[in-house]
Amino acid sequence: MSGHRIVILGAGYAGLSAAKRFARTAREAEITVVDARAEFVERVRLHQQAAGQPIASWDLRELLERKRIRFVQARATEIDTERKQVLLDDAPALGYDTLVYALGSTGGTGAVPGVAEYAYSVATPEDVRRLPASLGTGPVAVIGSGATGIELAAELAEAQPDTRVVLLGAEEPAAWLAPKASAHVRRVLERLGVEIRGGVKVVEVTGDGVWLADGELVAAAATVWTAGFDVPDLAARTGLAVDGGGRVLTDASLRSVSHPDVYAAGDCAVIAGPGGRELRMACATALPTGMYAAEVISARIQGREPRPMKFRYLVQCLSLGRDDGLIQVLHADDSPAKTVLTGRSAAWLKERVVRFAAAGAGLS
Ligand SMILES: Cc1cc2nc3c(=O)[nH]c(=O)nc-3n(C[C@H](O)[C@H](O)[C@H](O)COP(=O)(O)OP(=O)(O)OC[C@H]3O[C@@H](n4cnc5c(N)ncnc54)[C@H](O)[C@@H]3O)c2cc1C
């Protein structure tokens, strides 16, 4: 293993959890982490920041060098898989023996006209910095009744009780959870004054608001799109085998199915979970898959057979403002069980889970 060059692309939850594990399991290797950002910001708190709450950040160089891991702040622009090197925009090319591809995701547009031009996003720290002042005065339309849309709408409505916040989605909010859970989400959103528009199809976003398929305009001074993430196109441009959305196809050991020196983890990877069901884009996926990628790579370079990945989701947690929340217990296949925890205790537990995630990425 001595001198084996491991390059980790991306210092999000997946990349950092891989780096943390490598620091224990591959001490002799030369480990380098590359990220375009100088700082790690907790992505799972960006809806809080969008509603005006300060959130912490960590200096990546300081954090990684403490673990004797080299950090290069640069954007990866190309991967030359023949020469086994990564080309960077602001630093010399980096050679690798094994590459961990963990570039995560960004806000999507759902190919809906006007989203790219007129809608805002809370998917990345840069998106949150671009949010307009009109988010504070409203009316605000939040498109997407998945977890991010629900959390954002609740946070905005709680922070700005006089602002009209409309949550629009193809389904009712939290429709994928147990009936008790989705009923609680609706109750809290209504209590906070969020106007819920479920079962609607958004066909266009303009400077005036959101056009629905039935011809109605939902007027908004600011529109935020939360309905789905996109992944960077670097893997597809590089010729790695990817799915239709550009995520890296991996085998059971998170190895690229087309390039054996490349492994992928987190949002940018297609990973089979229990029963072959695809794992979802989540911090709850990124952390364990980053760690497992590091374990597999360390074992293989030491000539050992890695253990199979044991993975299952236990709960899904939603914050509903600062004083309420929801913990949905999950079956092994990620479907919702009957057990649901709500209210202050759920909010408290969700906060613990977020702190636990930060510790998993080595941030504590
Ligand atoms: C508001 C919000 C709330 C969320 N809440 C939850 C939650 O409660 N629970 C949950 O499980 N998940 C939640 N998520 C989802 C979760 O944040 C993501 O699934 C998780 O961050 C994915 O981690 P990752 O390491 O794969 O990617 P990311 O966190 O996206 O990290 C990728 C890293 O790669 C870097 N990068 C990208 N391209 C390049 C490049 N070309 N060169 C160099 N560096 C590059 C980026 O700068 C970034 O640091 C939430 C997301 C949002 C937006």
Q: Is 11 in the pocket of ligand 1 (CB under 6 A)?
A: yes
Q: 5-105+231-301 and 107-228+313-360: same fold?
A: yes
Q: Is 47 in the pocket of ligand 1 (CB under 6 A)?
A: yes
Which atom in ligand 1 lies closest to the alpha carbon of residue 317? 8
Predicted pLDDT of residue 275: 82
Q: Is 220 in the pocket of ligand 1 (CB under 6 A)?
A: no
| Global model pTM greater than 0.95 | yes
Q: Is 34 in the pocket of ligand 1 (CB under 6 A)?
A: yes
Predicted pLDDT of residue 302: 94
Predicted pLDDT of residue 134: 86
- Supply the DSSP symbol for 309: P
Per-position pLDDT tens, the chain of length 364: 678 999 999 999 999 999 999 999 998 999 999 999 999 999 999 999 999 999 999 999 999 999 999 999 999 999 999 999 999 998 999 999 999 999 999 998 888 999 999 999 999 999 999 999 889 898 999 999 999 999 999 999 999 999 999 999 999 999 999 999 999 999 999 999 999 999 999 999 999 999 999 999 999 999 999 998 999 999 999 999 999 999 999 999 999 999 999 999 999 999 998 888 899 999 999 999 999 999 999 999 999 999 999 989 999 999 999 999 999 999 988 999 999 999 999 999 999 999 999 998 899 7
Predicted pLDDT of residue 114: 97
Cα separation, 197 vs 217, whole angstroms: 12
Pick the CATH number of 5-105+231-301 from 3.50.50.60, 2.60.40.420, 3.40.50.150, 1.10.357.140: 3.50.50.60
Predicted pLDDT of residue 1: 60
User: Ligand 1 test: best mutation among 120, 121, 283, most atoms within 8 Å of CB?
Assistant: 283
296 neighbors 306 (Cβ within 8 angstroms):
yes
Q: How large is the C-alpha radius of gyration of the chain?
A: 21
- Largest pairwise CA distance in the chain: 65
User: Using CA positions, which residue lies closest to atom 6 of ligand 1?
Assistant: 44
Domain ranges of the chain: 5-105+231-301, 107-228+313-360
Q: Classify domain 107-228+313-360 by CATH number.
A: 3.50.50.100
User: Ligand 1 test: best mutation among 20, 35, 78, most atoms within 8 Å of CB?
Assistant: 35
Phi-psi region of 359 (alpha: psi -120 to 50; beta: other; left: phi over 0): alpha
Taking CA atoms, 247 is separated from 61, 84, 256, 265, 338, in Å, by 27, 20, 10, 10, 32
User: Using CA positions, which residue lies closest to atom 32 of ligand 1?
Assistant: 104
Q: Is 234 in the pocket of ligand 1 (CB under 6 A)?
A: yes
Predicted pLDDT of residue 168: 98
User: Ligand 1 test: best mutation among 103, 143, 285, 334, most atoms within 8 Å of CB?
Assistant: 103
Q: What's the start-to-end Cα distance of the chain, in Å? A: 28
Q: Is 20 in the pocket of ligand 1 (CB under 6 A)?
A: no
C-alpha of residue 162 to centroid of ligand 1, in Å: 31
Q: Is 148 in the pocket of ligand 1 (CB under 6 A)?
A: yes
Cα separation, 49 vs 188, whole angstroms: 20
Predicted pLDDT of residue 110: 85
Cis amide bond preceding 306, omega within 30: no
Q: Is 36 in the pocket of ligand 1 (CB under 6 A)?
A: yes
| Residues 6+ away with beta carbon under 8 Å from 39 | 57, 58, 59, 60
Q: Is 71 in the pocket of ligand 1 (CB under 6 A)?
A: no
User: Using CA positions, which residue lies closest to atom 41 of ligand 1?
Assistant: 76
* Ordered alpha helix ranges (H), the chain: 13-25, 46-50, 60-65, 115-118, 125-129, 134-137, 147-159, 179-191, 234-238, 283-301, 344-360
Cα separation, 309 vs 55, whole angstroms: 33
